[in-house]
Structure 1
Amino acid sequence: MIFSLIFLTVCTLMQLYISWRIHTTLHLWQNNHQHWLWWSSGALWGLFALCWLLHSQVFILHHWSEWFWSQWLGMLFLLFMPLLLVDLATLFGLVLRRVQRLMLTAALLVSLVLCVIATIQGTRAPVITRYDVTVTTLPEHLDGLTLVAASDLHLGPILDTHWLEQRLQQVRGLSPDIVVLVGDIFETNGDEAGEFIDRFKTLQVPLGVWGVSGNHEYYGRNKLPLFEKAGIQRLQNNWQQIVPGLIIAGVDDLTVAHRRGQLDNFVESALNGRPHGATILLSHTPWQINQAVANNADIIISGHTHNGQIWPFNYLVERQYPYIQGHYPLGSSHLFVGRGTGTWGPRMRLWQPAEILHIVLHAAKNETVADTESTPR
C-alpha cells in the first residue's frame, strides 16, 4: 500500500508537470487557454490510477487495464525527461528565453518520437546473444555443451501464451542441452497460469529445464508452486549434479532476502559441498558475485536489471547493480547478466533490446571463440 501511494504520487507530479508544460507551450504559440488539456489530463490520470490500483485483480477488462497503465507509465517518463532537460537548460526561462518555446516544442516532438521507437523496440523478438567460453573444469566428454538462458519473462496479461510460444520456438531452434530460467518468470498465478504451464511442458531438453525465483515470484500471491507444475526444476539455495562433471546451483532471489533483512551468504551456502566438476550458478539478482567467484563457480547467470529497459534508466540502475548487462570474465569464472527476455511495465525498450543467452561451453583444450550477437531469423 505504501509503495502504491509513493508510486501514484510520483506519477501524479510527473503528469502535472507535463500537462503544465504542454499547456504553456501551446499557449505561447496560440495565445489562448487550452482548458481541454486539463480535462483530458485529469481523465487520463484517473484512468491510470484506477488501472494501477486494480492491476492485481482479474476482471473482464484485465488485459486492457494492465496494458493501459503500463504503457502510460512509459510515456510519462519519455515525455517528462526531454521537457525537464529543456527547463534545466533554460533555468525555467531565466536564460535563453527567446528560444525557450521552440526548445519546448522540439522536446515534445522528440518525446513522441521516442515513445514510438520504444514501443517498436519493446515489441520486437529478443535477440539471441551467443557466447563461446572455455571452462577448465568441464570434462572433455561435455565439450560443446549448449546452454540457453532466459530471464525476466514476466508472463501475465501483457506477455501472454502466444508470446511465450514464440520464445519457446526461439529456444528450440538453438537445440540446447540445458535450459535455465533466471527468475521473474511468472507475473500471475491466476487462471491464465495454467496455459503458461501447458506451454512449458512442451519444452523437452536433454538435461532438463532449471530455474530460480525472482522478486516478482513473491509479489501478490506466491507463484513458486508454478515452477514444479510447469516442469521447471527450481533450485533453492542448493546444488544438483546433472551428470558427472556438471553441477548446477541456484539461490532464491537476493533482492527479496535483502528487503526482508534476511540476506546472508546464500551463494556460498548453495555451492558448499558440491563434487568436482563444472559449476553453473543461477542467481536472479547479480549480487554476491565475489562469493561466487571465491567458491569457484565457473558460469554465473543473472538477470533482473533489464539494463534499465528504457534509456537512460540504465545509468541509474548501474549505481545499484555494477554488473548490469553482458559478459564479465572474472578470473576463471564467467558472469553473464541478461537484459531480460520480456519487459516489466510498459511494453517498451529504448536502445536496450531484449535477449536470450546462448552459451556454448568448451573444455580447456579448445580455444575461446569471440562473443557474437545476432538477431533471431
Structure 2
Amino acid sequence: MPSVPETAAAPREPGDRWRAVYACRSSTSRGRLVAEPGSPTRSAFQRDRDRIIHSNAFRRLKHKTQVFVSHEGDHFRTRLTHTIEVGQIARALARALGLDEDLAEALALAHDLGHTPFGHTGEDALHACMAGHGGFDHNAQTLRIVTRLERRYAGFDGLNLTWETLEGLVKHNGPLLGPDGLPTARYAEEGIPAAILEYQQRQDLWLDSHASAEAQAAALADDIAYDAHDIDDGLRAGMFSIEELRAVPFLAELLDEIAALHPGLEKQRVTNELVRRVITRFVEDVIRHSQGLIAALAPADADEIRRAGAPVVAFSPAIVAADAAIKGFLYPNMYRHPRIAVIRREAADVVRDLFGHFMADPLAMPAEWAAGCEALDETRRARRIADYIAGMTDSYALDEHRRLFDATPALR
C-alpha cells in the first residue's frame, strides 16, 4: 500500500514562525504505510512520539542495561534513562537549529528499542547465534519492532509510524547504500540486514541518502549522551579516577576550569560539573558548526539536506577529536575493564544457551512465540527466536535461563 499523507493540504503549523525551511514538516509528511485520519490535536510526528512512549518495547528499556547490570546500583544508566537523556539533547539541538523538535524527539526515544538484554554484549552474542540466518542488527530490530512486532492496534501490526520517523531510525548511522548502489562500509561485509531490505520492498526509505537533519541531531545526541553518562557511571563504579581522566586533554581542560572556579569541591560535585560541561561543550559545538554547514549548503527544503552527500548536523573537527579521545579512554578503562569482562562472558553465555535451547525445542518458548514455530524453516525459526530473545529484559533473560538450565550465572 502506498504512503498517504495524513492531510491533503499543508497548513501552517504551530512553530512555523521559528521552523527553518529545511526542517521536516508533519503537514507535508510522506505519510504512513497504512493511511490514517489526521488528529485534530496532534501533529503526525507528535503521534509518532506518543506511540513510541506507549509501546511495550519502550517500557522494557527500563530493565535493559547499558554497561552495568542491575545489581550495581540504582544510579547507573539503563536503556530507558539513556533514551530520556538522548531525547532531551535532541530537542535542544533541534530547537537551536530550527528543526522539528517532535520528530527529533520521536527518533531519540525509539533509537534503542531494538537492543537486546545485556547491552552490546547481548547483541554480539545474538549476532553470532544468527550467523547463517542474516545476523542480528539492533537498528534493523528497531525497524521490526515498530513495523511488525508491536501489536497494539486493530488496523495494523507495528506502530504505523510516518516515513520520516522510519527513515531516521534506519539511517541512524548514515546511508546504507552508496552512490554506486552497493552497501556502505558498515554493511559491506555482511550486507544490509534482511529486515530492512524486506521493509524496503513495502516502502522506499531512500537507503542511499542521508536522513533528515532531525535524525542527524538525534544521532549526535546519542553520541553526546553516551560520552557524558559513561564518564559518570565509570567514576561512580570506581573503574577509573578523576585524575586518570586527565589523560584526555579535553577533559583535563574542563577539570582545570572546575578547580579554578570551585577549589576543594567534593568528588561527586566535581563529577557532576564535569558531566554537565561535557554535554554543554558538545551541544554548543554542534549548534555552531552545524549552523555554518547549513548556511553553506543553503538548503531550500528537507530533501536537500538528505541529498547533501554529507551530514549537516555534525561536530567540528576539534570535537570529533575530543569525542574520539574520550571513547579511546573509555574502551579499555570501562567497556573492557576486567570486572565487566567477566560479566560480558557470562551474559553472552546466557544468550547463547537460550538461543540453542529454543532452536532445539521451540515449544519451550511461551505459547504466543512457539505457535507454528516448528513448521517454519530454520532461518525463519531462528528469526522468531531472535525476536523473542531480543525483546527480553536482563532480569527476564536470567529468569528464563533459570527455568531451563540447572545453573545460571549471577552476573556480578
TM-score clears 0.5:
no
The structure that is strand-richer by fraction is: 1
TM range (shorter): under 0.3
When normalised by structure 2's length, the TM-score is 0.23
Structure with greater contact order relative to length (CA < 8 Å, sep ≥ 6): 1
